[in-house]
């Protein structure tokens, strides 16, 4: 097996430490070789667990010639600057979501990637969640007919008071949580250019000045209408997924999905069984006696393949030392 790819992780907060360091530390293809954070206690913890170098500043870490890949897991408003510095220093860059806080910064990162020949990508790990993979499989199979409407709901009732509630740091629910359902929505929407309607609101449930209520509507001729909700004021939350088609529908959450085909009731059982680990079960309807198919992603989404596995291995390992 080739030598592991040496990774430097910038930022040891929830994402950098609990998601990226934790994942990379359990993968043979990668080694957490360096970290940077302004908290000495965090740096010491990383050194003790991973045996890595620890830097107080990003400039020090990015100058380390032994690193091939930099994970940017700092506050959102710093993402573009750090990714650009990493690429100019000869490293590939994996950027936490949101990729950037504005389109101009995204364009700059793409331009520098082309200029330097280094890869830059966003960590969209929910793209590989078991629930989304099953929803996409069912939609692509055609058993629901033409998809007319999709609703993706991230509902909760919660209070928040950290930096992610402040506009000056790129906070707000649209930037913090929105990249996950919007990524799903755009994949399911297809190639059409969407007409976008967006409503943002700030309620007393969050301490800062950024939005905590998000409603986005995507539509275009020939494409499904997709309704995305990221709400922190829902006491009676609804399921994450609802897909409505001309021949049936889908409804469910992260751990369970039900599919009903109104034309060929039994057709989904084999379809769902064809793609383990999600399984298909057939249950009888108490009201009609007819059978309906239900797919379950029970507990699988909690251990679904992380974005590193699919994104980094496929892209970074293929281009290492090129």
Residues in Cβ contact with 143 at an 8 Å cutoff, skipping those fewer than 6 apart: 247, 248, 259, 261, 264, 267, 268, 271
Q: Report the topology of domain 5-124+305-319.
A: Rossmann fold (3.40.50)
Strand partners, 257: 252, 295
More confident residue, 280 or 292: 292
Return the pLDDT at 160: 82
Q: 69-118 pLDDT, tens per residue?
A: 999 999 999 999 999 999 999 999 999 999 999 999 999 999 999 999 99
Residue 229 has pLDDT above 50, yes or no: yes
Neighbours of 202 (CB within 10 A): 16
Can you list the pairs that 44-51 forms with residues at least 24 positions away whose Cβ atoms lie under 8 Å? 45/12, 45/17, 46/9, 46/12, 46/17, 46/21, 49/21, 49/25, 50/21, 50/25
Return the pLDDT at 264: 62
Q: Where are the domains of the chain?
A: 5-124+305-319, 127-303
- Which of 298, 299, 269 has its CA nearest to residue 283? 269
Return the pLDDT at 289: 39
Q: Which helix (H) or strand (E) holds 120?
A: strand 120-122
Apex CA 52: angle with CA 48 and CA 55, to 5°?
A: 105
Q: Which helix (H) or strand (E) holds 242?
A: strand 241-245
Return the pLDDT at 267: 40
More confident residue, 165 or 34: 34
**For all residues of the chain together, what is the average pLDDT?**
84
Residue 223 has pLDDT above 60, yes or no: yes
pLDDT tier for residue 265 given thresholds of 50, 70 and 90: low
Task: Give Cα separations from 141 to 128, 133, 192, 267, 272 (angstroms).
Answer: 18, 12, 20, 11, 10
Return the pLDDT at 310: 40
For 157, phi and psi rounded to 5 degrees? -125, 105
Q: 200-222 pLDDT, tens per residue?
A: 999 998 888 988 999 999 999 99
The residue to which tokens 């301490």 are assigned: 207
Q: Report the topology of domain 127-303.
A: Dihydrodipicolinate Reductase; domain 2 (3.30.360)
- Which of 128, 63, 59 has its CA nearest to residue 314? 128
More confident residue, 170 or 35: 35
Residue 314 has pLDDT above 60, yes or no: no
Return the pLDDT at 162: 83
Residue 181 has pLDDT above 70, yes or no: yes
Q: pTM value? A: 0.78
Return the pLDDT at 318: 53
The SS3 of residue 275 is: coil
Residue 321 has pLDDT above 50, yes or no: no
Return the pLDDT at 252: 95
The pLDDT > 70 percentage for the chain reads 82
246 near 146, Cβ under 8 Å? yes
Residue 38 has pLDDT above 90, yes or no: yes
- Which of 84, 85, 94, 75 has its CA nearest to residue 30? 94
Return the pLDDT at 165: 82
Do the strands 147-155 and 241-245 form a parallel or antiparallel pair, or are they unpaired? Answer: antiparallel
11 near 82, Cβ under 8 Å? no
Residue 305 has pLDDT above 50, yes or no: no
- Which of 211, 184, 176 has its CA nearest to residue 77? 176
Residue 291 has pLDDT above 70, yes or no: no
């Amino acid at each position: 097996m080739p030598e592991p790819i040496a990774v430097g992780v910038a930022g040891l907060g929830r994402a950098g430490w609990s998601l990226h360091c934790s994942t990379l530390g359990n993968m043979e293809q990668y080694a957490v070789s360096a970290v940077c954070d302004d908290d000495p206690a965090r740096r010491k913890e990383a050194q003790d667990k991973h045996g890595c170098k620890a830097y107080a500043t990003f400039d020090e870490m990015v100058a380390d010639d032994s690193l091939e890949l930099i994970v940017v897991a700092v506050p959102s408003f710093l993402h573009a600057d750090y990714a650009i510095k990493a690429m100019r220093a000869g490293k590939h860059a994996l950027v936490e979501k949101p990729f950037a806080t504005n389109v101009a910064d995204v364009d700059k990162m793409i331009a520098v990637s082309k200029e330097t020949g280094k890869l830059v990508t966003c960590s969209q790990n929910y793209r590989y969640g078991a629930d989304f993979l099953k929803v996409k499989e069912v939609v692509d199979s055609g058993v629901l007919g033409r998809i007319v409407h999709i609703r993706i709901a991230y509902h909760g009732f919660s209070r928040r008071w950290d930096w992610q509630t402040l506009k000056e740091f790129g906070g707000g629910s649209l930037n913090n949580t929105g990249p996950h359902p919007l990524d799903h929505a755009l994949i399911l929407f297809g190639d059409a250019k969407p007409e976008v309607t967006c409503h943002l609101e700030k309620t007393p449930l969050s301490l800062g000045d950024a939005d905590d209520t998000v409603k986005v509507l995507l539509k275009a001729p020939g494409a499904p209408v997709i309704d995305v909700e990221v709400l922190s004021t829902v006491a009676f939350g609804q399921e994450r997924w609802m897909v409505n088609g001309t021949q049936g529908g889908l409804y469910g959450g992260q751990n369970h999905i039900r599919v009903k085909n109104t034309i060929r009731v039994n057709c989904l059982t084999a379809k769902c069984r064809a793609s383990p680990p999600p399984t298909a079960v057939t249950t009888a309807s108490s009201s009609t006696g007819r059978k309906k198919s239900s797919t379950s992603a029970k507990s699988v989404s909690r251990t679904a393949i992380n974005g590193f596995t699919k994104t980094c291995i496929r892209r970074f390992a293929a281009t290492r030392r090129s």
